[in-house]
Chain A
Amino acid sequence: MLSFIGRSVVQKIITLFFVSVVSFLIIHIAPGEPSQVDPMNPKFTPEVVERFREEFHLDKPLHVQYIYFYQNLFTGKTVSWKDNQSVLQKIWERFLNSLPLFIVGTVLTWTLSFPVGIRSAIYRGRLYDRSATFLSYLLISIPGFFFAYVLIIFVVTHFHVPVIGMETFGTGNTSTVFVVMDRTWHLLLPSVLGATGGIAVLSRYVRSQMLEVGGQDYIRTARAKGLPQEQVHYKHALRNALLPFITMFGLILPGLIGGSVIIESIFSWPGMGRMAYEAILARDYPVILTVNFVSAVLVLAGTFISDILYIIADPRIRL
């Protein structure tokens, strides 16, 4: 166990190093420079551009820039080129905004997809199963931005509530109930949208897992013993079908920082995805690279956690 942990930590650190190199190269070798992002601006005289380049080490060779950047990142001194604020500070603020979306979306995904998946496995081939299957393909295939507009129109015309942004502007001194309701309405649509794809995929996965377990001999034995159907489904089948989902707990970690770019820009939600999008537009390399680095760390940590969980949960795996 310990040797496994040690080996995989070393491996992940090596992977992380290569990820940092590759992302750095992708951004810096691509044509165009951040100092030329606004060439028509009369304030951008050649002297200013020169000072800018010198200030952010852009005149140094690439490997020196690389060392400078990651040195700053690890000591927490990285600043955004756009507004000179600390990048980690910025990311943390935006992360706190994205967090409610992530939590509500994840809870919706995991609470809805299990009942749907289990039910369609039990009623395999019947109307319920077929309509659930079709619906989940529909949800996977629908373009998020289109679905967002359909939902916005529906909610705005039927419930007459505003949904864009994090809260309605100018509700400073209204009652707490009103503020809470307002925040809930604003939170609901983007998190539902973020969860749709997840619900569709996960419920399909639950279904196939249940069907696979349902074909095993011990399920037939349980049925033959005359156990009630409920007990067979929920005690014997479900428990064994749950195993792969333990690993998926680790894999939702990267979603923390992902934050959907498209949904956050439609709802003008000031979250991570939108910040990354704005950083790309402004060629704010430190922000882009830091977001990339943090998300790579989260992906690696997620796979690591899921490996460990799997070892703990499945007694058949011995190290």
Chain B
Amino acid sequence: MRIFNSGAGSTRAGLRITGLVAIGLASVLVVAGCTDNSQSTSSTSAADKTLVIDKSFDLKTSDPARAFELTGSIVDKAIYETVLDFDGSDVTKVQPGIATFEENADNTVLTLTMTGTHTFSDGSPVTADDIVFSLQRVQGIAGNPSFLLDGVTVAKTSDTTVTLTSATSNPALPFILPNPSLGILNSKVLMANGGTTGADDQAEAFLNKTSAGSGPYQLESYDVTTKVAFALNPNYAGDKPAYGRVVLENVEGPTQKINVQAGSTQIALDLNADQVQGMDSSVKITKNASPYLIYSWYNQDPAVSGGVTDNADFVKAVRQGIDYSKLLSIAGEGSTQPGGMVPSMFLGAIESDPANVFDLDKAKASLAASGYSGQPVTFSYPNDITVNGLQMQTPAEAIQSQLKDVGITLTLAPSPISTFLDAFRAGTLQSGIMYWGPDYPDPADYLVFNPGESLGKRAGWAAGSDPTVTAAADAAAAASGDDARKTAYEAWQNAANASGPFIPVIQPGQYAVSTSEITQLDLNPVWTVDIADIK
């Protein structure tokens, strides 16, 4: 300033320039003043603040009994309470939610006792009937999350207690119950809108418009392709969340990076290692080991396999032909290769398995033994989603190139996630790459990757087709006590790696990038983020 002033008055031109500079400075100050004002007003009324979160959507529905996608879990966690809960990112200890729990000695009967007051968004109290209705509805609809309560009988025993009786020992049940898909719904409102506890339930459309829950937020607007907006639930019984309005936007990774750097969004959830590297210091990077597992499958159903992917030697050749270390370098810092299907941070995870080691010569030998004669194998993957910021197309192209060196011809078949999921769930895809997010932090969650189980069937792995793996899986499911379970799960994964159709490929690193405004952000393996906990 002073430099300009000292020069002023020397000439007319100088005067004019000084005048211009003065006007410029004045206008900048005025604008700055305005910005300051608006910021201070927004921070004074904390509850009215809007939180914008960017997420690459894989959303199909917000009906908890049907939703089973990562984005669906974020949405349902915000609008529904569960009977049990986890605190922050710690998933090793189950916390009380709507209820506390007790288990009998052989882990077959779990008793839930309701605690405190919990109220739905319409002001009515949460009752034991609502718990029974909601859990039975998940079972009755038989949607994607229904397997969570397979073999469990839900019964009301008093106005405040509900028992969950399992046919066999079910030590994982307390870890299952905090899953957002088991959120408690307002049974009266739901029944008035077509909700039942059977397959004839018609309430999905209603739940995609209105949330009938007791969680900290309720749905303000909902669009599976663009954004989901949340408003405070005025009747929420717990502590009021820091943000009065939350918008979850469907934004792809690269745009998320720009948004969070510009401050137009506070949290970006899908940045990958490459994108995080170039961030400036104004943002905070939360790094965690990711519980998401990217796996490759080879269909065992003779009607789908084309006579190729159901050949044990062919799958073996693929296992030995994938250059895992190269995939890790592509996925970036923080990623790991899981030894089996159980992610590295859970009980029973194995560090490595001799079956899943890159060895080009062995792979070629296995391929020769399989009798494969170069016919193209269709390799499907969803091309519009990212797993922790990693595009599925990237590992797919890398695997295609690596297997080409072995002599296997993969034809890549990308499709949008909704189309992909329908075909995948029908078990009609010959091979491909997909991810699995844990439903509850327990290795029992990974028993679905077994013959005749939900994920096993997607790979055409029929019940009874692999007695060795089935026996190992049964032993793992029945084991009790941490040490016994650990050993049993390790044995099961070794067996599955030896003859199964699933190849654990990569666990990408997990990054969340937030602006300096955010002081608390916990990444949880089950629901990614609890929106109400963000401060």
Query: Do A and B truly interact?
Result: no
Binding site for A on B (CB under 8 A): none
Identify the A interface with B (CB < 8 A): none
